[in-house]
Structure formats: structure tokens, C-alpha cells
């Protein structure tokens, strides 16, 4: 039997049945600030209850990254994480996937959901990560 799959945290991302997954950001209706993850209070102007949920773009540019080769407990190496700049004007911290040796600052990366560890109950934990978009790919 396949182990149960649970999101790393509720409300971080959505995985519609017939559409690609996306991160759930928030846009403040008072000051316009866009942030991830969504929160009830705007961290730019401190208004409360003014942040509406905003599906974020699935593609962005890799701002910077590092490859981890010495594992913390419960993880397998190598893995990589970094910051991705999204068109909405925010920088998102994320795990990175694909060919880690081929990662390059400035390259276009795309969101995907993938299990990345198991929790204490043995369930597979589903997280988000960005993977390089193959050169020449024009898929939206
Ligand atoms: Zn605000």
C-alpha cells in the first residue's frame, strides 16, 4: 500500500485536479504588497484582514542557491535550496529539484510538488520545489 501523502503545511500551495499546482501568496488591498506565504496581516503596512489570496506565477528566475551535501537528520543528500524571483515582485525561498549540478543563477525555474521526506507517522510529506525549465520549452 502506498504511504499516505500529506502537505508540509496547509495553505502553502494548491494542486487543482485539472491544472498545474501553484503557490498561494497574498496581496494587500491597502498597500498592494505581495507576499508568500499568505497571512491575515500585511507585513508591509501592518493592516489586518486586508490580504487577499493570490495564486502566484509558476515560473520565476533563480536568484541564488546552494547544494547541501551533508544531511541533517531525516534528509537525504544532495539537495538544493535557494531563492526564486517571481514576476509578482517577490523572492521565494524554496527547495530545488532536477539536475542539481546543472543549476545556474538566473535560469528559469518552474514550480512542482513532490514528496521530500517522511514524517513521524511514516507519511510522505508533500512539499513544493522549483526545477529548471528545459531550454527552448515554451509551455505556459
Ligand atoms: Zn499592506
Helix/strand/coil (H/E/C) assignment for every residue in the chain: CCCCEEECCCCCEECCCCCCCEEEEEEECCCCCEECCCCCECCCCCCECCEEEEECCCEEEEEEEEEECCCCCCCCCCEEEEEEEECCCEEEEEEECCCHHHCCCCCEEEEEEEEEEECCCCCEEEEEEEEECCCCCCCC
Distance 73 CA to ligand 1 centre (A): 38
Q: How far is the CA of 91 from the centre of ligand 1 (A)?
A: 17
* Ligand 1 center to 66 CA (angstroms): 32
Kindly give the distance from the C-alpha atom of residue 47 to the centroid of ligand 1, in angstroms, as a whole number: 6
* CA–CA dist 65, 129 (Å, integer): 12
Residue-wise pLDDT tens digits, 17-38: 899 999 999 999 999 999 999 9
Distance 45 CA to ligand 1 centre (A): 4
Distance 132 CA to ligand 1 centre (A): 32
Joined grid coordinates for residue 75 = 534528509
Residue 16 Cα distances to 4, 20, 104, angstroms: 18, 7, 30
Please tell me the distance from the alpha carbon of residue 86 to that of residue 115, in angstroms, as a whole number. Answer: 23
CA–CA gap between residue 18 and residue 40 (Å, rounded): 28
Write the pLDDT tens digit of every residue in 55-91: 999 999 999 999 999 988 877 889 999 999 999 999 9
Among the residue ranges 5-9, 19-23, 35-39, 49-53, the one predicted with the least confidence is 5-9
pTM: 0.87
CA of 44 to the centre of ligand 1 (A): 5
Å from CA of 11 to ligand 1 middle: 20
**Residue 139 pLDDT exceeds 60:** no
Amino acid at each position: 500500500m502506498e504511504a499516505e501523502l500529506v502537505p508540509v503545511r496547509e495553505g502553502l500551495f494548491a494542486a487543482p485536479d485539472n491544472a498545474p499546482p501553484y503557490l498561494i501568496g497574498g496581496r494587500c488591498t491597502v498597500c498592494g504588497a505581495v507576499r508568500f506565504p499568505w497571512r491575515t496581516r500585511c507585513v508591509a503596512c501592518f493592516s489586518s484582514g486586508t490580504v487577499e489570496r493570490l495564486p502566484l506565477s509558476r515560473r520565476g528566475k533563480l536568484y541564488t542557491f546552494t547544494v547541501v551535501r551533508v544531511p541533517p537528520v531525516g534528509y537525504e543528500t544532495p539537495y538544493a535550496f535557494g531563492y526564486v524571483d517571481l514576476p509578482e515582485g517577490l523572492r521565494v525561498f524554496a527547495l530545488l529539484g532536477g539536475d542539481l549540478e546543472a543549476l545556474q543563477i538566473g535560469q528559469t525555474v518552474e514550480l512542482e510538488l513532490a514528496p521530500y521526506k517522511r514524517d513521524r507517522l511514516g507519511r510522505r510529506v508533500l512539499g513544493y520545489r522549483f526545477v529548471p525549465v528545459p531550454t527552448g520549452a515554451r509551455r505556459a
